[in-house]
Every structure is written in C-alpha cells, then in structure tokens.
Amino acid sequence: LIVHVQRAATLLQAAQRICILTGAGVSAESGIPTFRDKQTGLWEQFRAEDLASPDAFERDPKLVWSWYQWRRKLVHDKAPNPAHHALAQWQESAETSKSHLTKKQQLTLITQNVDDLHEQAGSTVIHLHGHLWRNRCNQCNASYHYKSVDQKSTLLNNSKENNSKDVINFDDELITCQHCGGYIRPDIIWFGESLPVDAWQTAEQAAANCEVFISIGTSSLVYPAAGLAQLAKQNGATIIEINPNPTPNTIVDITLAAKAGVVMPLLLDQIL
Ligand code: NAD
C-alpha cells in the first residue's frame, strides 16, 4: 500500500487541478452504513433503490418518509472521520499554499453523499445527490430546511415542543406543506430524478479539466456520477481509486485498496 500511496502522492504534488469524488464509503468509518451494507431491523427487508425513488413516494409516502427519518436518526450524531478531516486540510492548504506545496492547487471536492460530514470537517463540497438535512414540498418545491449544523441540533432538541411546520423532527408522521398542502419530502435526488444543473455542470467541468481524478468510497455503479471518472480519463487525467473492495471501474491507474480513513491521512502526509 505504501508504495502505491507514494506513487499517488508524487503525481498529486505535481498536479494543479485535482478532482475528487466521494461516495458512501467515505462516511462508513463515521458509522453511517452504505446502501450495500446490511441494514438493521425493519429496513432489512427493503432495498434502498426501492425506497429512494419518486415512484416509491407516490405509492407509499409514509414508508419513504419513515425510512428517511430513520436515516436521520442514524446520522445526526455522527462526526467526520480522518478521511473527511484530511480532505478538508488538503483543501485549505491547496487554496492558501500553507504547506510544502510549491504552488496553489485547484481542488474540487464532489460528493454523492447526502450527509454533511464534509462540511462539518470544514470542506467546501458540491453535493450531486442533495442534502439529508433539507426538505422540500413534493408539490410546490417550497424549502423546509435546517440552516446550519448548530441550528439542526437545536431544532432536533426542541422538536417535540415546537409544532411549527418547518421544524423537522424524527417522527414518522408525514408533514404537509404550509403553502399548498403537498407532502414534505427530503431534498434528495432520487433514482430516476435529474441532478441539480449547477452542481452537475461544475462537476463535469472539474472532471474534464483535472489532471488527477480521485474516486473515494464509491461503488461506481450509480450514474451519472460514475461517469465523471470516465470523462476525466478521456481528457487525459490519471485515475486513483481508494476503496478496500474491488469495483467495476476498469479505468483506474492507481488502486489504493484500503479504508479511506487510513489512506487519506497517509496520502496527505506525503503531499503536504
Ligand atoms: P455504495 O453504497 O454503492 O458503495 C460504497 C462503496 O464504499 C463500496 O464500493 C465499498 O466497498 C466502499 N467502502 C466501504 N467502506 C469504505 C471505507 N471505509 N473506505 C473507502 N471505501 C469504502 O455508495 P455510492 O457509490 O456512494 O452510491 C450509492 C448512493 O448511496 C449515493 O447516491 C449516495 O447518495 C447514497 N448514500 C449516501 C450515504 C451518505 O450520505 N453517507 C450513505 C449511504 C448511501
């Protein structure tokens, strides 16, 4: 592993434009299960793909809402792990040259995750698949969201006493929109829905223009996000993958086959 990390670090030190895509695996060491991990209790019998879709919400909004409320309960007290911290530190150094980097680097961090652990670690990140801590009306699109991590915990603590409709609690009861009466749903991009245009354009541009593309903790099965590595490769980038398990990604140049929380601090040690 160390030899491969050194090879990757040499490439990354010389690069000026780096694009990083993270998936559920980067948050696994924080205790947030990936979709392909075994789910617990009631949710064992469902596949995530069958719940995270507009059809599922249409068919049974209560079931889908309950699943997300369960996911929120699971995620709300989780903290960034060494991989999130290493990425945030690298981003800061890349922007300010506060390190052994001889020049500034343009480091674009893109995530498929809906948790906010990158932000909690201090990163600026592009969310391709939306945010677990935001909601919107399924009918009129009105936003119902937590404005900050701090406010999130306050709202969660007060949720039992506070009956305001734009306060999200962990209850399974469906909430209706105060403007149009439609159901409130998580502001997450479900299977079959289009990605946010701005986020996708920025991600595509960063992938097409980077010299090195790093794929961290993603199974590379969910498109279009999985296509970003291919786009980078077609434009001449070197592809690095960090994942303890093999993936169908056949265009990888350097595989760092270990957990992100182990590899990222090692890599950063060599780069900065
Ligand atoms: P995925 O579940 O398909 O794949 C996770 C990948 O992470 C696997 O290849 C696995 O081998 C790898 N992995 C597991 N532990 C790891 C570790 N410690 N370090 C590095 N890699 C590790 O996830 P995906 O590719 O992100 O795509 C599925 C969808 O799941 C995405 O759309 C995402 O929004 C959603 N999702 C998000 C979260 C989250 O926000 N934390 C959690 C579960 C699923």
In the predicted structure, residue 98 carries a pLDDT above the cut 70: no
Please indicate whether residue 112, judged by its CB atom, sits closer than 6 Å to ligand 1.
Answer: yes
* The predicted structure's pLDDT at residue 101: 66
Residues of the chain within CATH 3.30.1600.10 domain(s) are 37-77+132-188
Task: Write out the CATH class of domain 37-77+132-188.
Answer: alpha beta
Taking the CA of residue 217 as reference, the ligand 1 atom at the shortest distance is 21
For atom 20 of ligand 1, the residue with the nearest CA is 217
Across the chain, mean pLDDT equals 88
Q: How confident is the model at residue 194 (pLDDT cuts 50, 70, 90)?
A: very high
* The predicted structure's pLDDT at residue 151: 43
Given a contact cutoff of 8 angstroms between Cβ atoms, the answer to whether 28 and 74 are in contact is no
CA of 165 from ligand 1 middle (Å) equals: 32
Number of helical H runs and strand E runs in the chain:
11, 9
| Short-list 174, 175, 86, CA closest to 122 | 86
Active site residues: 129
What is the residue-wise DSSP string for 215-238?
A: EES--S-STTTTHHHHHHHHTT-E
Q: How confident is the model at residue 186 (pLDDT cuts 50, 70, 90)?
A: very high
Given a contact cutoff of 8 angstroms between Cβ atoms, the answer to whether 59 and 147 are in contact is no
Put the strands of the sheet holding 126-127 in their side by side order: 126-127, 106-111, 17-22, 212-216, 238-242, 254-256
Q: What is the pLDDT of residues 60-89, one digit of tens each?
A: 999 999 999 888 888 988 999 999 999 999
Higher pLDDT, 142 or 267: 267
Q: How confident is the model at residue 166 (pLDDT cuts 50, 70, 90)?
A: very low
Q: Could you report the predicted ipTM of this complex, rounded to two decimals?
A: 0.95
In the predicted structure, residue 152 carries a pLDDT above the cut 70: no
Identity of the amino acid at 26: V
* The predicted structure's pLDDT at residue 224: 94
Residues of the chain within CATH 3.40.50.1220 domain(s) are 1-32+80-129+194-272
Q: Which range, of 149-163, 181-195, 230-244, averages the lowest pLDDT?
A: 149-163
240 by DSSP, 3-state: which?
A: strand
For atom 15 of ligand 1, the residue with the nearest CA is 25
Please tell me the CATH code under which domain 1-32+80-129+194-272 is placed.
Answer: 3.40.50.1220
In the predicted structure, residue 38 carries a pLDDT above the cut 80: no
Higher pLDDT, 207 or 173: 207
Given a contact cutoff of 8 angstroms between Cβ atoms, the answer to whether 142 and 179 are in contact is yes
